[in-house]
Amino acid sequence: MIGVSCASFHEHRTITVRLFDEYEDKELTGIVVLIHTFRREIKLSIDEGEWHWIKIDEIVSVG
């Protein structure tokens, strides 16, 4: 899972991240633009000017 995120970061590849949610898992598609190891988060760029900080612990799968 982390390897795919790193490939997205280094190679600017688009990935789809499935996130845990209490009622229904959510999916976000974008490019990892920053990996914050201390806070265990990735910054996923969804669209120009739109991004989300995602906690690594909330990630169910990456593809």
CA distance 15 to 7: 9
Query: For position 19, what pLDDT does the model report?
Result: 96
**What residues make up the domain containing 37?**
2-62
Q: What is the pLDDT of residues 2-53, one digit of tens each?
A: 566 667 777 888 999 999 999 999 999 999 999 999 999 999 999 989 999 9
Query: For position 2, what pLDDT does the model report?
Result: 59
Q: How many domains does the chain have?
A: 1
Query: For position 58, what pLDDT does the model report?
Result: 95
Q: Count CA atoms within 13 Å of residue 8 on its CB side.
A: 23
Q: pTM for the full model?
A: 0.84
Quick check: helix, strand or coil at residue 45? Answer: strand
| Residue 42's CATH number | 2.30.30
Query: For position 53, what pLDDT does the model report?
Result: 97
